Amino acid sequence: MPAGEDKQLISVHPSDLKFIFELEKQSFCDLKVVNNTENHVAFKVKTTSPKKYFVRPNTSVLQPGDSCLIRVTLQAQREYPPDMQCKDKFLLQSTIVPPNTDVDDLPADTFNKESSKDIRECKLKVQYISPSAQGNSGDEGSSDSNSTLQQLKEDRDAAVRKTLHLQQEVDLLKRRRQRRNDPGFSFKFAAIVGVIGIIVGLVLNLYLSK
């Protein structure tokens, strides 16, 4: 929200409209508006280039604390703007209305600044983004995902190595105990080996599941 436009009846997110610009293709941007008051608030969306954009809903009434999603669609364009710079702007007007007011019941002069009503305004700028710039952002996200996957693989390999090491120690201990030929001890040893095997299996499954 631009500086100096505090105490708004409604808040808008994001504060700018960003469209991925491709020739002969539509693009859209969603705005979320939230009623910050305990009153019913009506809003209207205006633009300096009404033929280029399709806004739905462009007018509505929000109940106290309620929110609404506005979809702004950029119509397919036949040529690129100079330097991909856009001078289009949007204006979101809002004003308090009586409770239970329906959007179809709004008077024609509801958003007329010349009336005695308190009308708040929020200006929104428009930015065009090239598909290549959008793709670069996706590459950064892909790099982060690959790094996370590599870390999981390293953790899994470490768990496998630790499991193999434990199995070797168990086999060595088993051979030593067999030399003693102690029947009473064999039962206890078998129980201990079984518990270790279960623990090792759980650890291995946990890392492999990642």
Q: Residue 25 is part of a domain; what is its CATH number?
A: 2.60.40.10
Q: Which residue has the higher pLDDT, 142 or 47?
A: 47
Q: Cα 36 from chain centroid? A: 22
Contact 109, 115 (CB under 8 A): yes
pTM, two decimals, is: 0.60
Assigned domain for 181 exists:
no
Assigned domain for 157 exists:
no
> Structural domain tally of the chain?
1
pLDDT tens string 64-104: 999 999 999 999 999 999 989 999 999 999 999 999 899 99
CA distance 202 to 210: 13
Is pLDDT above 90 for 189?
Answer: no
Assigned domain for 70 exists:
yes
Assigned domain for 161 exists:
no
Assigned domain for 37 exists:
yes
Assigned domain for 121 exists:
yes
Assigned domain for 192 exists:
no
pLDDT tens string 137-165: 555 555 555 555 666 666 676 666 767 77
- Please report the sign of the dihedral spanned by the C-alpha atoms of residue 164, residue 166, residue 167, residue 169: positive
Task: Please state, for a pLDDT cut of 90, what percent of the chain lies above it.
Answer: 54
DSSP alpha helix (H) spans, the chain: 131-180, 183-209
Contact 23, 78 (CB under 8 A): yes
Residue numbers of the domain that contains 60: 10-131
Assigned domain for 48 exists:
yes
